[in-house]
Chains A and B, each alone.
Chain A
Amino acid sequence: MRFGFIKTLCVLWLAAIVLLALSAPLITSADPYTPVSDMLQSPSYHPPLGTDALGRDFFARTAYGARLSLSIPLLSTLLTVLIGTTFSLTAITAGRLSDRIILTIANTALAIPGLLLAMLLVAGFGPGLSTIVLAVGLGGIPGFIRLSRSIFLGIKEMGYIDAAYALGASRTRVAIAHMLPNAAPQLFSLATTHFAWAFMGTTTLTFLGLSGDPSFPEWGAMLNSGRMHLIQAPWLTIVPGILISLTILAVHYLGENYADH
């Protein structure tokens, strides 16, 4: 089976973004916080993407921005997956009652939109990047529990799980040694799709100004601050916007098609 053309593109794009994030200090000598020149200069030879409203090197901000824009959703997805999987696995393997309880709690929490939960958390803990990680992470748990639970449910109905129980395996052992490994590919696909959601959620929150310190380069916050000068310097919004959109697109595409293997 040949790896599709589009899939290759997606992987390449994501690799490029990650590379950008990791190698930021190597690619550009400018620092994303200090103004280097007059503000709102158009892209030219130097600085490569011009300057933003405070005269900072925009290419530097974009490159360093990849770091925050990638790591925040990554951390929150990790949080969601760890907690969510624990709950859904418990729900499926620990008996009817726990399943009912966990499912009901998850459904109830789902009645409150994720963004709302996130905003409440920000209101409680104050704006900041760590709050956003927490907010996006916690906000995604109910949905993740539901979806991962169905995955585990599907696995459970396979014959070999019953066989394992028949052979005397304890519930924990079945859960960890049998269900998890078998669910792994589907879980990974789910986590990837969830990462796209977390990425979107993070940029929405930072766009609404809840990131605390706008001098940190982060694509969602840059999308917001670029709006002030939309007509004069459209690239300040277009560049982060396109980067965000293409990244989400790539992750979505890969996540959806991964499970087909």
Chain B
Amino acid sequence: MKTNKIIILLIIFLLSISGLSSACQPPSETSSTLNYGLTLAPSGIDPHLNASAELGIPLSSVYDTLVFLDPANGEFVPGLAERWEISSDGLSYTFHLRKDVHFHDGTPFDAQAVQENIEYTLNPENHSQKAATMLGPLNQMEILDEFTIVLVLDEPFAPLLDSLSQVYLGMASPKALEQWGPSEYQFHQVGTGPYRFIEYIPNDHITIERNPDYAWGPAIYSNAKASIERIFFYFYEDAASRALALERREVDVMGEIPPHEADRLASSSDFSLSPVAIPGQPLQYFVNTTVEPTDDLRVRQALLLAIDKESIVRTIFGSHSPISNGPLSQAGFGMISAPPPSSHNPGEARQLLDTAGWILEGQDTHRKRDGVPLSIKLIAPDWGSNSEVAQLMKVGWENIGVNVELIIAPGFGALKEIQSSGDYHVIGINFFGTDPDLLRSFYASDAFYNWTGYSDAEIDRLLNEAARTTHVPVHRMELYSQIVRAITDNALVLPIRDYVNLVVTQQRVEGLKFSAQGWFPNLIDVQLSSP
């Protein structure tokens, strides 16, 4: 019978497939295991050397830092350092360390360990992408006794405590650093945190396990010890697959869920949505002030006025994102006065362009001046919702007679290549952070990320002074308010929306709270309700 052969073939087919797939381990789901979804698969996960925010999600529970930033009031609380003093000239920071801490490999935590960590980070051969820059003008370290260390700076550096509160300067076991070396250490990380690092299979998963000896958590943690036994982290680079993964119960928690999907999931009783504001820079676009036509302030202002931020935010992000008007998010920077909201006024934009000499003649769709058309090259990165935002910005600008060429750069490398070539008018990039000194990397005249090309001695002076104001926070914030005003007055940047991370969890996940940096969950406090 012919049907027989078909049945037999099908059986062979299914058997071979299941045989092969038995090689794969499905994520197990017990009351003691949590499956967490990450997004980008970073090229490396050593926080001392790599820059991605993704790596901090698992690793901020593997490491402790000298101090912690309290999201409730923006103050620094003791971590591995019980207390600290800053000299009046702001050049010496003396840290008195806890005496009861040991690393996951049993070695004790002491001042020597701190020094070796910082040396490892600063070693130019290790090519630290982020952590090294966070230490600023750190010049030398002095060990006063077994648990006391002094960090000495060349100049006052206000962001230092903030840097020391981040996972990138988490304390690792010097023995492990020594044993594995900079390339291999990321696979064998040893810290002091509430979770132990078990393994990292690139592009596949990261595993961490509860540290039963943990007894030195900072005050911002609710629990003294972690309750979940094991946590697995899986990668979901493709945004379209994240909501599906939650629905298929592959993961219990996942962030960066696209806004409409998040709403859909939240409407079901199986999931809860936790929007987390991420402090730092908003989703924004820098304007190149060194090339025509954007070297003209009026053109820049017109571009800003022609963007219908409200409509963009509503369309793409639903109700989840505050509109942004300045170079810093409202979250985390409440003490810096924000600029007044910019209006959506295409009429005024058109007038500005007319005044600047860009006229619409007759049947033209695009403005011209002396026969040259008004053309803007808009470069958007391919991550997040930049592509959609840029498309809608383009619509707004075409509406006022600007010819827009939109290019989505595939990856940071491509983005930077275009930027280095100078062939752009508007380009999108933003970084996150909890210290306003972040602005210096973007607006100082010689800053690496000064993609506007704007050079202003006054802004430079203010930025430097603010970085050095260690002792009077109010004065420091006032300086930043002035800087923000200068940036806004010169229309250097087109801010769109403050970043809100949409985190969706299965119903059984309780107690999920995030650190001050916004991205990193306090996994020690997460519990699973009984199924």
Interface residues of A (CB under 8 A from B): 33-35, 38-40, 53-55, 126-128, 209-210, 212-215, 227-232
Query: Within the assembled complex, what's the spacing in Å between the Cα atoms of A43 and B398?
Result: 27
Given that A54-B316, A232-B264 are known contacts, is A215 also in contact with B410, CB under 8 Å in the complex? no
Do A40 and B260 touch across chains, with their CB atoms under 8 A apart? Answer: yes
Residues of chain B at the chain A interface (Cβ within 8 Å): 238-240, 243-244, 247, 258, 260-261, 264, 311, 315-316, 382, 387-388, 391-392, 394-395, 398, 405-410, 414, 418
Top 9 nearest A-B pairs (CB, nearest first) are A227-B240, A215-B391, A213-B406, A228-B240, A34-B395, A214-B387, A228-B258, A212-B407, A39-B315
Query: Chain B contacts of A227 at CB under 8 A?
Result: 238, 240
Q: Tell me if A54 and B240 are in contact (CB < 8 A).
A: no
B-side contacts of A55, CB under 8 Å: 315
Flag if A54 contacts B261 (CB, 8 Å).
Answer: no
| Contact assessment for B261 and A229 in the assembled complex, using a CB-CB cutoff below 8 Å | yes
Given A229-B260, A229-B261, A126–B388 Cβ distance below 8 Å? no
Having A33-B398, A34-B395, one finds 10 other A-B pairs with CB under 8 Å, namely A35-B311, A53-B260, A53-B388, A54-B392, A126-B418, A209-B410, A214-B391, A228-B239, A230-B240, A231-B244
Does A35 contact B408, Cβ atoms closer than 8 Å?
Answer: no
**What residues of B have a CB within 8 angstroms of the CB of A214 in the complex?**
387, 391, 408
Cα A228 to Cα B382 in complex, Å, equals 14
Give the CA-CA distance A162 to B258 in the complex, in Å.
68
Which of A54, A126, A210, A230 is within 8 Å of B244, CB to CB?
Answer: A230
Contacts of A232 in B (CB 8 A): 260-261, 264
Q: If the complex has contacts A53-B260, A54-B315, are A231 and B243 also in contact, measured as CB distance less than 8 A?
A: yes
**Complex contacts, B239 vs chain A, CB 8 Å:** 228
Measured between C-beta atoms, what is the minimum distance from B144 to chain A in Å?
54
Measured between beta carbons, the chain B residues less than 8 angstroms from A126 are: 407, 414, 418
- A43 to B238 Cα, complex, angstroms: 27
Q: Which residues of B contact A209 (CB under 8 A)?
A: 382, 408, 410
Closest chain B residue to A229, Cβ basis: B260
Q: List 25 A-B contacts (CB under 8 A).
A: A34-B395, A35-B311, A35-B392, A39-B315, A40-B260, A126-B418, A127-B410, A127-B414, A128-B407, A209-B408, A210-B410, A212-B406, A212-B408, A213-B405, A213-B406, A213-B407, A214-B387, A214-B408, A228-B258, A228-B261, A230-B240, A231-B243, A231-B244, A231-B261, A232-B260
Partner among A128, A210, A231 whose Cβ is within 8 Å of the Cβ of B264: A231
| A35 to B244 CA separation, bound complex (whole angstroms) | 27
- Which residue, of A54, A55, A210, A230, has the highest number of chain B Cβ atoms within 10 A? A54
Residues of B within 8 A of A54 (CB): 315-316, 388, 391-392
Name the A residues within 8 Å of B392 (CB-CB).
35, 54
List residues of chain A with CB within 8 A of the CB of B410: 127, 209-210
Contacts of B261 in A (CB 8 A): 228-229, 231-232
Chain A interface main SS type: loop
A55's nearest neighbour on chain B, judged by CB, is B315
B316: chain A residues at CB < 8 Å are 53-54
Q: Can you name the residue of chain B whose Cβ is closest to the Cβ of A34?
A: B395
A40–B258 alpha-carbon span in the complex (Å) = 14
Minimum CB–CB distance for B113 against chain A, Å: 44
Residues of chain B lying within 8 A (CB to CB) of residue A231: 243-244, 247, 261, 264
CA distance A25 to B410 in the complex (A): 32
Partner of A215 from B244, B264, B394, B418 at Cβ < 8 Å: B394
Q: Is the CB of B260 within 8 A of A213?
A: no
Distance between A81 CB and nearest chain B CB, rounded to angstroms: 30
Report the bound CA distance from A230 to B244 in whole Å: 9
B407 touches A127 (CB 8 A): yes
- Chain A residue with Cβ nearest B394: A215
Complex formed: what's the CA distance from A128 to B418 in Å?
Answer: 14
Alpha-carbon separation in the docked complex, A228 to B260 (Å): 9
Which residues of chain B are near A128, meaning CB under 8 Å? 407
Minimal beta-carbon separation of A242 from chain B (angstroms): 19
Per the bound structure, the CA–CA distance linking A126 and B392 in Å amounts to 22
Known: A35-B392, A53-B260. A215 touches B243 (CB 8 A): no
How close is B418's CB to chain A, nearest CB, in angstroms? 8
Closest chain A CB from B250 CB (angstroms)? 15
For B387, the chain A residues whose CB sits under 8 A away are: 214
A159 to chain B, nearest CB (A): 47
Query: Within the assembled complex, what's the spacing in Å between the Cα atoms of A158 and B52?
Result: 66
User: CA–CA, A126 to B405, complex, Å?
Assistant: 14
Assuming the contacts A35-B392, A214-B391, asked whether A127 and B408 have C-beta atoms less than 8 A apart, the reply is yes
- Report the bound CA distance from A214 to B390 in whole Å: 10
Cβ-closest chain B residue relative to A212: B407
Residue of A nearest to B239 (CB): A228
User: Chain A nearest CB: distance from B316 CB in Å?
Assistant: 7
CA distance A55 to B315 in the complex (A): 7
Report the bound CA distance from A126 to B238 in whole Å: 22
Residues of A within 8 A of B240 (CB): 227-228, 230
Residues on A with beta carbons closer than 8 Å to the beta carbon of B382: 209
Complex: A54 Cα to B239 Cα, angstroms = 16
Chain B nearest CB, measured from A188 CB (Å): 37
Q: Which residues of A contact B260 (CB under 8 A)?
A: 39-40, 53, 228-229, 232
Distance A46 CA – B392 CA, assembled complex (angstroms): 22
Among A128, A213, A229, the most chain B Cβ lie within 10 Å of the Cβ of A213
Q: CB-nearest residue of chain B relative to A216?
A: B406
**Complex: how many Å from CA A73 to CA B326?**
45
* A127 partner residues in chain B, CB cutoff 8 A: 407-410, 414
Residues of B near A35 (CB, < 8 A) are 311, 315, 392, 395
Residues of A within 8 A of B394 (CB): 33, 215
* CB of B384 to closest CB in A, whole Å: 12
Q: Which residues of A contact B247 (CB under 8 A)?
A: 231
Q: How far is the CA of A230 from the CA of B238 in the complex (A)?
A: 13
Q: Which residues of chain B are near A213, meaning CB under 8 Å? A: 405-408
- Complex alpha-carbon distance, A7 and B247, angstroms: 43
